[in-house]
Amino acid sequence: MNCSAPSPQPASDPSGRTVKCTKFQKELPGLPEPPWPGELGQRIFDNISQDAWALWKEHAKMILNEYRLTPWAPESQEILEKAMEEFFFGEGAVLPPDYVPPQQKA
């Protein structure tokens, strides 16, 4: 009788859910829930990996700072939503095949 314990899921993806990531063009751990309201949030949930979402968060910080946006203001949310659509699904959304994400700071 084999009583070995099952291997645990990675801490970053407790559900084990994966998606064919539009940004990275490969199967990767998916987000635990839609990260944005509405249809765009559902498209991101269905097609974007946790890794790609992490890239977006860094990109969004730059947008917020460059344009001096206030995240809770409706006008700022419209700008972010358009930028998010372009980042994930617009022209040039797919990263080069040899792209290596920068190492995160500890």
pLDDT at 94: 72
| Tokens (6 digits) for 53 | 């979402």
Residue-level pLDDT at 104: 55
Six token digits for residue 17: 């859910």
Given the structure tokens 């990996």, which residue do they identify? 49
Q: Please, what are the domains in the chain?
A: 18-89 (1.10.3880.10)
Q: Return the exposure string of 35-57: e unless at least 16 CB atoms fall within 10 Å of the residue's CB, then b.
A: bbeeebbebbbebbbbbbbebbe
What stretches in the chain show pLDDT beneath 70? 1-15, 92, 95-106
Q: What integer pLDDT is reported at residue 4 of this predicted model? A: 42
pTM of the entire predicted model: 0.75
